[in-house]
């Protein structure tokens, strides 16, 4: 009898255990239901990158206007520069205010009627210069010619057959050579002459 009761108790216990485990709560997914007419929650907006401030281009440096161009074959002294010309059988045009103009070579023709020249130096043969004004003139060579539309402070000639003419006065003249002519429209102050056939007037 005792053994039967024990078996019966075990059977009842096993049955109760199965029933309890069968009634255990099984988790279910949670559903959220909104009331009718309620707007659905919008998904969070993805962050937008803030554009970096654009760097304004730095202003380009102002370009200064180019100096006025001169025609081909024209030499400009600007306002107080020195220039040098050399060559053979060529023609030049000089403009501006020249502190000094040096001309060397042979058979050169220089038109400086639009230039004023502080010191004009000629070195060579058959050089010809016509200028608006020449203050100081030095000539070394033969058969050279200089014409100035203004007065001259001094003329120094070393060579033969040079012709120097100034519309204004010439303060001082020095001539060494032969058959040179120095002529002034308003007279010559002082003259030192060495050689034959020279004319100072």
Q: Tell me how long the chain is.
A: 201
Q: Which secondary-structure segment (H or E) carries 14?
A: helix 2-22
The answer to whether the beta carbons of residues 170 and 189 sit under 8 Å apart is: yes
**pLDDT score recorded for residue 37:** 53
**pLDDT score recorded for residue 92:** 97
Cα separation of the two ends of the chain: 178
Q: Which secondary-structure segment (H or E) carries 46?
A: none
Question: Structure tokens of 129?
Answer: 């210069």
Residue spans per domain, the chain: 74-200
The answer to whether the beta carbons of residues 153 and 136 sit under 8 Å apart is: yes
pLDDT by 10-residue block (mean), the chain, 201 residues? 49 45 46 52 47 42 38 86 97 98 98 98 98 98 98 98 98 98 96 98 93
Question: Structure tokens of 184?
Answer: 């002034």
The answer to whether the beta carbons of residues 156 and 140 sit under 8 Å apart is: no
Give all strands (DSSP E) within 41-169, no chain letters. 74-125, 128-140, 145-148, 152-158, 163-166
**pLDDT score recorded for residue 73:** 75
Question: CB within 8 A of 161, min separation 6: which ones?
Answer: 142, 143, 178, 179, 180
**pLDDT score recorded for residue 23:** 43
**pLDDT score recorded for residue 67:** 37
**pLDDT score recorded for residue 5:** 53
**pLDDT score recorded for residue 34:** 53
Q: What angle do CA 96, 126, 77 make, to 5 degrees?
A: 10
Question: Structure tokens of 200?
Answer: 């100072």
**pLDDT score recorded for residue 170:** 98
């Amino acid at each position: 009898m005792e053994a039967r009761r024990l078996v019966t108790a075990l059977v009842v216990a096993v049955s109760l255990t199965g029933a309890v485990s069968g009634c255990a709560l099984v988790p279910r997914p949670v559903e959220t239901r909104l009331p009718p007419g309620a707007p659905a929650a919008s998904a969070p907006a993805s962050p937008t990158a803030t554009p970096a401030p654009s760097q304004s281009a730095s202003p380009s440096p102002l370009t200064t206007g180019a100096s006025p161009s001169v025609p081909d074959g024209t030499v400009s002294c600007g306002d107080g520069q020195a220039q040098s010309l050399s060559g053979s059988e060529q023609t030049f045009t000089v403009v501006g205010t020249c502190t000094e103009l040096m001309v060397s070579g042979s058979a050169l023709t220089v038109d400086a009627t639009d230039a004023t020249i502080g010191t004009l130096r000629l070195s060579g043969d058959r050089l010809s210069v016509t200028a608006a004004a020449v203050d100081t003139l030095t000539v070394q060579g033969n058969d050279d010619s200089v014409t100035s539309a203004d007065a001259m402070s001094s003329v120094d000639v070393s060579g033969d057959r040079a012709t120097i003419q100034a519309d204004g006065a010439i303060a001082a003249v020095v001539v060494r050579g032969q058959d040179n002519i120095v002529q002034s429209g308003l007279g010559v102050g002082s003259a030192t002459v060495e050689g034959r056939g020279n004319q100072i007037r």
